[in-house]
Each structure stands twice: as structure tokens, then as C-alpha cells.
Chains A and B, each alone.
Chain A
Amino acid sequence: MTFDATYLDDLTPVGWNPERIETRRPRPRDHREKKASVDIDPSYGSEARSESGYRIWNSPGYISDRLYGKLRKTLPDAIDGTFSAHFGKLLAIQTDATLTPDGADQPSPIALGWAKSILLHLQGQAMLPTKVVSSAEGGVAICFVSGDCYSDIECLNEGSILGVISNRRDRPIVWHIGPNQREFARASTRIREFFDHARPKRMLRRDRGVDPNFRPVHCLYYRFKSKILWRGASNPARLRALDISVNWSNI
């Protein structure tokens, strides 16, 4: 008996198309075990972002691959021209060892991942950093500079994240930033307030000497706590009697 291939064609179901075969991933017996075993990897931070600024994480625990793929097609590219240079610098730090200071360790993937996540967060907050550099302590530093005010967010190789603000005169303030979006938001708010409340240049001393020319039309302004108020006026008993700090103004 000879084998007739046309016989098989007759057995093919009507409308069957081998190109439409969909392969489904095997579902684990207990999907809760799979979720619990997902490692939190900072490099999972994706570039997708909704128009309202919400992050969409490319993580199995947050969104399915299929929905993520659709969103990637429909949503515009989140990396705009102003931030693209910083993302490019981050990529260059990852590949170019010459950008790392002498004696410092090459930034680890963990540090690079957190730096990318923070950059994405700053992009959502419209806080453009001044520069992104490789830290001398091993890691990545996202720096903000305006006049005498300096601030940076350092993502260190061991995974810790530090925030620094300094006015270049007093001792810098350093605090720990937790590895989550809420802590990123808190840190960006603190940095923004630090720069927004920076002193105007007219209030800076800038090598000016002491001016003893007080005039009767000038005024002193004294900041007080509400506890010194008494019956709508200042309570004399609550005032200090020595070294009262005031601000001098000609109006």
C-alpha cells in the first residue's frame, strides 16, 4: 500500500491554519508560590509610563506581558529630549569604564537599576538633574546644582541609596532613601523644597561688611512663636531679654 499525502489533506479540519496556533505557557500548579518566588530586581523598572505620569512596571507581579506589550505600543515614549541625555549617560557609565573615577568600583547592576528607577521618577516629577556621574564611592550619583545649593542622590553598589543636600557652607545633610517609590517621592520633594527655599542673592553676605547705619525709619522683624501672644498682643513675660535675633529691613 502506497502512502498518499492527499489523504492527510482531506483530514485537515476546515479553517485550520497552523500559523494561528497559540502556545500557552504552562500555568504553575500553585500560582501563589510563583508570585512569592519572584525576586525583586531593580532592573525591572520599565520605560513605559501613562500620560498621567504613572509608572507601569514590567514585573510579573504587577502586569501581564500581553497587556504590557499593548501599552508599549500605544503609549508614547516616556524618555524625552531633556532626560535622554541622562539616560544615555547612565548607559555609558554601564559600558564605559573610563567614566568611573580612579580607584572607584564600577557601578553594579543594582546601583544602575536604582539610578534608572530614580531617573524615571524624577522625570515624572519634572525635576531635571544637572548631571549623572559615577560616584567615587562606587555607584551612581544623580546631582542637582543651583548656585551654592547642591544636592545629589547616590545609588551605591551595595544597594543602599543616600540623599545629600548642602549649601556648601554648613555641614551637608545626608539621609537614607528607602528602595521604593514612596521614598523616592519623599526625597524628590525634600530636594525640591531645598532648592525652592534657597536664599535669594540679596540675602547672602558675599563679603559685605557690617553696616551699623540704623535709621529711625528702619524696622526690625522678629519671628515669634504663638505662645508669646496674649490677648491679641505680645506678652512681655514671654519675650527673651538677651540676644534677641531680628532681621533688619529698611521698610
Chain B
Amino acid sequence: MQEIENQTLKPVKYYVAHDPKDDNYSHSEIKVKKDEVILTKSSQISDTAKKEFRQTFSDRAAIMVPQKYENLEQWPSSGTIRISANISFHLAPLP
């Protein structure tokens, strides 16, 4: 668990929520919460918090390289990133 918390303002919290679909039971979403209120608009999150989340997500992520592709240049237009499900962490607060 990683905490990046600003002491002066209230932080936002990123967490994983299970959101099953009819044809995809394992579907989940990484959601954002502030004061136990789920944020639904990107404008509600500060740019600093977004950057920190993106950097943290990228650092933790591992790109899954299929064996049939020897290097990234041979990849098709999409791929898969794997990241630990223990993604709950606090990031920079709203301004």
C-alpha cells in the first residue's frame, strides 16, 4: 500500500471496485473517492492527483508480452498490462 498524502488538504483515494457485467463477471474498475464520495468527473480530480496516479500505475504495471512477439515493435495495436489488485492508495488532494 502506498500513500501519497498532502497534509494540508484532503486526499483522494484510488481503489478497485468489483463491477461485474452480465458477460464478464471479473470486470472491475479503478475508482476515485474523496471523503467517501465517489468522484465521477475528471474535473473533480486535481492534475497533481492524476499525475501521481498515472505514475504510480505505470510503475507498478508489468506489460504482458506474448511469446509469439519477440519485441514490442512487432506488437499489434493493443496489449495487456498486469498490475497488483492491491491498488488502494491515497494520492494528492484536491486544490
Contacts and interface: CB of A to CB of B under 8 A. Distances in A.
Interface string A212-235: 101110111111111001001111
Contacts of A203: 23-26
Interface in B28-42: 28-32, 39-42
A244 B86 CA distance: 15
Contacts of A224: 78-81
Given A226-B76, A236-B51, A210 B20 contact: yes
A222 B83 CA distance: 8
A3 to B, nearest CB: 93
B80 A221 contact: yes
A248 B85 CA distance: 7
Given A220-B87, A222-B80, A243 B24 contact: no
Contacts of A188: none
B68 interface: no
How big is chain B's contact interface, by range? 35 or more
Contacts of A248: 16, 18, 26-28, 85
A243 B39 CA distance: 9
Contacts of B63: 229, 232-234
Contacts of B77: 225-226
A20 to B, nearest CB: 67
Interface string B59-95: 0010110000000100111111111111100000000
Interface in A184-216: 199, 202-206, 208, 210-212, 214-216
A247 interface: yes
How big is chain A's contact interface, by range? 35 or more
Given A222-B81, A223-B79, A233-B58, A246 B29 contact: yes
A204 B22 contact: yes
A245 interface: yes
Contact of B28 (A220, A234, A237, A242): A220
Contact of B54 (A212, A226, A232, A237): A237
A220 B25 contact: no
A58 interface: no
Contacts of B82: 219-222
A246 B16 contact: yes
A167 interface: yes
B83 A219 contact: yes
A234 B58 contact: yes
B32 A242 contact: yes
By Cβ-Cβ distance, the 3 closest A-B pairs, closest first, are A218-B85, A236-B54, A241-B50
Given A210-B18, A219-B83, 9 more contacts: A203-B25, A216-B85, A222-B83, A226-B75, A226-B79, A234-B81, A243-B29, A245-B28, A245-B29
30 contacts: A167-B23, A203-B23, A206-B25, A210-B20, A214-B18, A220-B30, A220-B82, A220-B85, A221-B81, A221-B82, A223-B81, A233-B63, A236-B54, A236-B57, A237-B54, A241-B32, A241-B42, A241-B50, A241-B53, A242-B42, A243-B30, A244-B29, A246-B27, A246-B29, A247-B26, A247-B27, A248-B16, A248-B18, A248-B28, A249-B26
